[in-house]
């Protein structure tokens, strides 16, 4: 009997949510071989027909959104409203790609005095999509939609910590597509290594942590397989001295830190506030948190934050807070607990704001990836920029100011792939805006036209003017003049 991956509810750890079969290397090989065979026919389909099939695939998923959302909430600990939102947004993204891909992927032809030049957008072949547990649907769709539109086939390997909803979703999508164009398989690190290192995989798209990314990149490099890596961040929030601390923006900032229990790569993770407004900010932030942040079972009405994903994650996050307090920090619980919640039943961590913590504390210097965030005061803008840019990560950042021009001027000085203005996290995203990191936060882009172009390689056909009929010719070893 084949092994299976078992998933229990992180909010009620005794509750079995479901299982999926784990693939061994032989199964991985069979899936990739099928994808490679299917890709040849899929690439010959016109782009217009490929995106029409993607729209049909979105329609096949839509009736199942309520049951998929509940399944995602039960396996991941993400609150039900967020799961509904993620699934709906994933379909919105797929349809956005279907609308824009024909233009982005179109051939470009030039015929002028310099010669005739044809630029063709060609697929890579089989794309391996390695996806995480914290937003498994949208982070898979960010790879599936543009890769399929470009004529690739896709094999998705989700995280074992949230395999169930994405398994069903991919199978629903695949039901509207030709056989083996889109497949899903599950497994541990060995299955991932077999997939990434497969000789027939043409590109690898990975979202996850730095340690796994190094393993993925090394395995891909052994085959000289190109990669897209979207990794973690330690996003600084820069509140300038004229920032609006009224309830509405503060509610937005609270959820930018604590949505999905803070387990988001682009969450707000370091809050820099003017020294003169420190106490005012803390009071405003805590008041906003009391309104919008409710800890409890993800399926309960009114709950906005559930458990973290595992007991190990809970222990790590608690340890970061305890270390910060030992260094002189002060931990301030924020939000409230749902009266009907049994926090002993799952991996619940009290959301905390930590003040007075030194900059070298792990809570500040590392990505917390959990429901705790430090508040750090500053005196001058020059020092603020240096502190915000410290460290090896550069995924996101945000600048908050009543003066948009001033905010943009500061944003230009930040070492981040995506800088939000007067918001942070998903409220600041746009389908048209490419997203990705700098420094050790990865490379390549998702969203926007660049996110579509990631899955097509430019191939060239060129007839230089010198050698066309009537051309002047050139020496056999000449360099081009233009």
Model pLDDT for residues 147-202, shown as the tens digit of each residue: 999 999 999 999 999 999 999 999 999 999 999 999 999 999 999 999 999 999 99
Beta carbons of 90 and 82 less than 8 angstroms apart: no
Regions of the chain with pLDDT less than 70: 1-2
**pLDDT value at residue 399:** 98
Q: What is the 3-state secondary structure (H, E, C) of 363-408?
A: HHHCCCCCCEEEEEEECCHHHHHHHHCCCCEECEEEEECCCHHHHH
**pLDDT value at residue 53:** 98
Beta carbons of 364 and 333 less than 8 angstroms apart: no
**pLDDT value at residue 2:** 63
From the list 75, 83, 86, 265, the catalytic residue is 265
Write the CA distances from 280 to 242, 248, 283, 422, integer angstroms. 13, 15, 5, 18
* CA distance linking residue 310 with residue 132, whole number of Å: 14
**pLDDT value at residue 437:** 97
> Any catalytic annotation for residue 265?
yes
pTM of the model: 0.96
* DSSP β-ladder status, 396-400 and 330-333: unpaired
Write the CA distances from 215 to 163, 201, 210, 233, 265, integer angstroms. 21, 16, 9, 18, 19
Beta carbons of 266 and 230 less than 8 angstroms apart: no
* CA distance linking residue 99 with residue 92, whole number of Å: 11
From the list 230, 367, 446, 454, the catalytic residue is 230
**pLDDT value at residue 1:** 37
**Structure-token pair, residue 142:** 């960010």
**pLDDT value at residue 382:** 87
> Any catalytic annotation for residue 230?
yes
């Amino acid at each position: 009997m084949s092994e299976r991956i078992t998933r229990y509810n992180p909010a009620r750890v005794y509750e079995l949510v479901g299982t999926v079969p784990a693939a061994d290397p032989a199964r991985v090989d069979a899936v990739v071989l099928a994808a490679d065979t299917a890709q040849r026919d899929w690439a010959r389909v016109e782009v217009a027909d490929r995106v029409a099939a993607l729209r049909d695939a979105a329609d096949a998923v839509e009736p199942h959104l309520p049951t998929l959302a509940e399944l995602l909430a039960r396996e991941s600990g993400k609150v039900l409203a967020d799961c509904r939102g993620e699934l709906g947004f994933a379909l919105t993204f797929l349809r956005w790609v279907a609308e824009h891909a024909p233009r982005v992927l179109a051939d470009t032809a030039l015929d002028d005095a310099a010669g005739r030049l044809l630029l063709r957008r060609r697929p890579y072949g089989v794309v391996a999509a390695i996806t995480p547990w914290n937003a498994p649907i949208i982070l898979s769709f960010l790879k599936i939609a543009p890769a399929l539109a470009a004529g690739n086939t896709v094999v998705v390997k989700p995280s074992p910590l949230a395999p169930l909803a994405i398994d069903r979703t991919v199978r629903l999508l695949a039901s509207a597509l030709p056989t083996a164009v889109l497949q899903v398989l599950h497994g541990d690190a060995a299955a991932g290594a077999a997939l990434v290192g497969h000789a027939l995989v043409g590109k690898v798209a990975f979202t996850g942590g730095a340690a796994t990314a190094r393993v993925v990149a090394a395995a891909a490099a052994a085959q000289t397989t190109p990669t897209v890596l979207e990794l973690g961040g330690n996003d600084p929030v820069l509140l300038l001295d004229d920032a609006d601390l009224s309830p509405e923006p503060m509610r937005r900032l609270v959820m930018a830190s604590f949505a999905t229990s803070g387990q988001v790569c682009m969450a707000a993770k370091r809050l820099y506030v003017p020294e003169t407004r420190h106490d005012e900010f803390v009071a405003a932030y805590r008041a906003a948190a009391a309104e919008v942040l409710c800890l409890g079972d993800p399926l309960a009405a009114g709950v906005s934050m559930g458990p973290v994903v595992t007991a190990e994650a809970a222990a790590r996050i608690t340890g970061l807070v305890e270390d910060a307090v030992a260094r002189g920090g002060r931990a301030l619980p924020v939000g409230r607990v749902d009266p009907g919640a049994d926090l002993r039943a799952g991996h619940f961590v009290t959301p905390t704001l930590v003040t007075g913590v030194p900059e070298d504390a792990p809570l500040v210097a590392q990505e917390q990836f959990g429901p705790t965030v430090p508040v750090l005061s500053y005196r001058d803008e020059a020092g603020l920029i240096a502190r915000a840019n410290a460290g090896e990560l550069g995924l996101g950042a945000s600048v908050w100011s009543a003066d948009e021009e001033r905010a943009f001027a500061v944003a230009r000085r930040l070492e981040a792939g995506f800088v939000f203005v007067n918001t942070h996290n998903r409220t600041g995203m746009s389908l048209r805006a490419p997203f990705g990191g700098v420094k050790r936060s990865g490379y390549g882009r998702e969203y926007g036209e660049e996110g579509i172009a990631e899955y097509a390689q430019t191939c060239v056909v060129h007839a230089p003017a010198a050698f066309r009929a009537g051309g002047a010719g050139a020496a056999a070893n000449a360099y081009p003049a233009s």
